[in-house]
Amino acid sequence: MKSEGTQLVRRSKARKYLTVSAIVVGMIFGTVAGVNAQYVANFARRISDKLSNERGQTPSNGKLHVILQLGSPPSGQLNALLRRNGVRVRGNFDQLGIIALDLSPNDLDELAAHSEVSFLSQDEKIAPFGYVTSTTGADAVRTQTTSNGGLLGTGLLATTTTTTFDGSGIGIAIVDSGIDQSHASFSSRVAYSKDFTGENRTDDPYGHGTNVAGLALGYNSTYGGIAPNAKLINLRVLDSNGVGTTSSLLSALNWILANRTTYNIRIINLSLGTPAIDSYKNDPLCKAVRSLVDAGVVVVAAAGNNGKDVDGNKVYGQIHAPGNEPAAITVGASNTFGTMVRSDDVVTTYSSRGPTRSYWTDDAGLKHYDNLIKPDLVAPGNKIINAMADQSSAYSNFLVMNNPSLDAHVTSTENKRMMYLSGSSVAAPVVTGAIAMMLQANPKLTPNLVKMILMYTAQPLAGFNNLEEGAGQLNVEGALRLTKLIKTTLTNSTSVGSALLTTTTAPSPQTTLSNYTFPWSQGVIMNYTVVTGSKLMTKYQKVYGTGYLLGDGLLISDGQLTPDGLLLSDGLLISDGILVADNTSWGGNAVFTPSGLLLSDGLLLSDGSVFGDGLLLSDGLLLSDAELDADAQIEAQSAMVNGDNTACMPAIRLNY
């Protein structure tokens, strides 16, 4: 039998429960017993609308661990409830307007009845997902020399300036399982460390965070990070077993929002996550990420490692939270097969695919899925070697101790040892390091400009669709080249369509690495569609400012997506959908629509892909409803993967 605590998360049952309890709550607040039925129904609906979608938490010692989001400052009545015996406030994240608390399931309806409360959800379990400098193009642009050529008749001689782009001065917050600061890869670049797990340690007994940090900014001549001279802020939210909670992650994000200027934190790396159930409009992690992005901090999130089921079949719709937040830069994993040339690169089979299947439920009990196109791009994340946390004691590096094959056996010197890891959690810090290089070159870039540049310059991989690779694979060479041309005088007041570059000559939209030339995607994913055109990189778009999403500014009229003219300029090509497959048959004969349909709810395609009952066709036809319960698509485990098929660590337990 389900415990009473599941009333928070089983909305279909909660409606019946709340209809009755609304009368009780009404009495508590002085409503007469003869309240009419319509009032009771409306009151119950208002309460139910504030409760998270189904997740199934069982109370611990009779208490639920709850995340409360405030829409306005708490009143005296709400404060009295929070001070009541049996209610325990575990964390007050004032920068985010969020409170973590423990309470009885019987107190939920009364809590939700307060007008200041905007949403209630569970304190979910968080878990990690799990020679890049050459193949990404970072080495190709690491050191650059410029010359002024001298000025005739002035007596000024020609001078040259050499700049090393290595993330200097940029603060990167690695929010993970801690960092082994004694490792030679980090030297003295750890500017600050803080523990949010309650274990009162900031080292890395689990072994994940050290590897992640090494990929972003570790210093090693052979297995270095992308931005080896950036500043490292070590925020530990995963415990010795690699498990964290929503509240611990929120606490770290709240700390960043309050202290970002002190340490010049410009980027946050989140190589962790939890199943995306609630719509990004309600999910507390997504809302925290949005607050940080609006404040000018770039947030990089791993997509997840649920791209295939236990039988190896391709699965869509498994992007994790907070990677389902549209403001985040969500990163999937690619496989370079250990070569420097990019012509053979592919998306790994395990990298989570879109669309996002988080949802909200209307009054009729129908689910409305977000269906955002994710990931935003992919980066090398298969069998990558980098820093290995100390394994000298019985309580160190859980991952390697339980999976000895992860030891790369590069050296026996403890503080220089290296390990293998695979997954989107490995790919994410590669992108994080690239962003540090970009922000060093142009500190005025907003998070949205960073995101645009990364997608516009990405390399589309042959045979993969946008729900698998986003815009394509990370291209540091192209991203830095475009970054250096972007004006540093842009503000939210800059007019749409103004010149974006310092030059009238746009950069050539292609890159050559290891004698292989590939084109840029020249497109940007905007929530439900792909926008292409050179004006994305030559004209200022209002959505590049803070406080906007890249998906803002698109209008749907008669089945066509068009820019509204206020946030997006003309001259952009907006597809009427999204590429859902490439040379892959659907059912046996028909090929997937080649140019991106607008996604809605519920259509189950033959290969297990989750799309929608509202695919928008050019002739206006609407496919019939075939709603699929999102729970049927959720896999029961998430494994760090070694290669395409072999798990390199035990399945990580995630609480659904």
Q: Of the candidates 123, 145, 163, which is a domain's last residue?
A: 123
Average pLDDT (202-225) is 88
Flag whether 441 is in a domain.
Answer: yes
To the nearest 10°, report the CA torsion of 345, 351, 366, 632. Answer: 120
Rounded Cα distance between 577 and 594, Å, is: 9
Is the residue at 293 inside a domain?
yes
Distance from C-alpha of 188 to C-alpha of 214, rounded to nearest angstrom:
13
Residues 482-502: what's their mean pLDDT?
96
Residue that is last in its domain, among 487, 507, 535: 487
CB atoms within 10 A of CB 144: 15
Mode of pairing for the β-strands spanning 510-513 and 265-270: unpaired
Classify the C-alpha dihedral 581-584-587-591 as positive or negative: positive
* Cα–Cα distance, 466 to 388 (Å, whole number): 33
Directed axis angle between helix 11-28 and helix 37-48, to 10°? Answer: 120
Query: Are 313 and 361 within one domain?
Result: yes
Residue 500 included in any domain:
no
Domain harbouring 255, CATH code: 3.40.50.200
Closest of 400, 403, 398, 483 to residue 449, by C-alpha:
483
* Amino acid present at 78: L
Q: Which two tokens stand for residue 241?
A: 């077993």
The answer to whether residues 183 and 279 belong to one domain is yes
CA distance 646 to 624: 39
455 and 475 inside one domain? yes
Q: Counting beta carbons within 10 angstroms of the beta carbon of residue 35, is it exposed (0 to 12), middle (13 to 18) or buried (19 or more)?
A: middle
Residue 411 · residue 454 · CB < 8 Å: no
Rounded CA-CA distance 483/477 in Å is 10
Burial of 2 (0-12, 13-18, 19+ CB in 10 A): exposed
Residue 571 has pLDDT above 80, yes or no: yes
Record the tokens describing residue 483, joined without a space.
Answer: 């970054």
The pLDDT tens digits for 524-558 are: 999 888 999 999 999 999 999 999 999 898 887 66
Distances in whole angstroms, Cα of residue 131 to Cα of each of 214, 302, 378:
12, 20, 17
How far is the C-alpha of 618 from the C-alpha of 580, rounded, in Å? 16
Could you give the CA distance from residue 130 to residue 639 in angstroms, rounded to a whole number? 7
Phi-psi region of 163 (alpha: psi -120 to 50; beta: other; left: phi over 0): beta
Question: How far separated are the first and last CA of the chain, in Å rounded?
Answer: 17
Residues 148 and 116 in one domain: no
DSSP calls for 283-333: -HHHHHHHHHHHTT-EEEEE--S-SB-TT--B--S-PEETTT-TTSEEEEE
Looking at the domain assignment, is residue 247 inside a domain? yes
Q: How confident is the model at residue 297 (pLDDT cuts 50, 70, 90)?
A: very high
Q: 3-class SS at 2?
A: coil
Length of the chain: 656
Query: Do 331 and 472 fall within a single domain?
Result: yes
Q: Same domain, yes or no, for 393 and 259?
A: yes
Structure tokens at 52: 């998270």
Give the total number of structural domains in the chain: 2
Mean of the per-residue pLDDT values of the chain? 78
Among the ranges given (178-187, 344-353, 359-368, 613-622), the one the predictor scored with the smallest mean pLDDT: 613-622
pLDDT tops 80 at residue 191 = yes
Does the pLDDT value for residue 215 go beyond 70?
yes
Q: 519 with 510: CB under 8 angstroms?
A: yes
Instruction: Look at residue 579 and tell me if it is in a domain.
Output: no
CATH of the domain at 38: 3.30.70.80
DSSP assignment letter at 633: G
Per residue in 365-402, pLDDT (tens digit) is: 898 899 999 999 999 988 888 888 887 765 678 888 88
Q: 457, 487, 517: which is the final residue of a domain?
A: 487
246 and 394 in a single domain? The answer is yes
DSSP for 443-508 reads TT--HHHHHHHHHHT-BPPTT--HHHHTT-B--HHHHHHHHTTB-S---TTSPTT-B-BSSSSPPP
Domain ranges, residue 27:
4-123
Verify that 461 and 313 share a domain, yes or no.
yes
Q: What is the rounded CA–CA span in Å between residue 640 and residue 425?
A: 9
More confident site: 472 or 394:
472
| Secondary structure (H, E, C), 54-74 | CCCCCCECCEEEEEEEECCCC
Find the DSSP H helices in 114-196. 132-135
Residues 44 and 139 placed together within one structural domain of the fold: no
Q: Which residue has the higher pLDDT, 592 or 353?
A: 353
Backbone angles phi, psi at 472, to 5 degrees: 145, -165
Q: Using one digit for the tens of pLDDT, what is the confidence trace for 579-623?
A: 443 333 323 222 233 333 344 433 333 333 444 433 333 322 222
Kindly state whether residue 272 falls inside one of the protein's structural domains: yes
For the annotated catalytic residues, the residue numbers are: 176, 208, 425
- pLDDT, one tens digit per residue, over 123-178 is 878 766 554 555 665 657 667 766 555 555 555 555 667 788 777 999 999 999 99
pLDDT at 16: 34
pLDDT in tens, 445-458: 999 999 999 999 99
Residues 6+ apart with CB under 8 A from 239: 177, 197, 198, 199, 206
CA distance 111 to 57: 18
Residue 502 lies in a domain: no
Q: Is the domain of 147 the same as that of 292?
A: yes
Q: 174 and 115 share a domain?
A: no
639 belongs to a structural domain: no
Specify the 3-state DSSP secondary structure of 429: helix
Token pair in block for residue 511:
């890159």
Which H or E run includes 536? Answer: helix 535-538
Question: Per-residue pLDDT for 523 more than 80?
Answer: yes
**pLDDT per position as a tens digit, 7-44:** 353 443 343 333 333 323 322 233 333 344 443 344 34
The letter for the amino acid at 105 is: P
Cα(568)–Cα(139) distance, integer angstroms? 34
Contact predicate 141/474, CB 8 Å: no
Alpha-carbon distance of 27 to 21, in angstroms, equals: 10
Specify the higher pLDDT residue, 433 or 589: 433
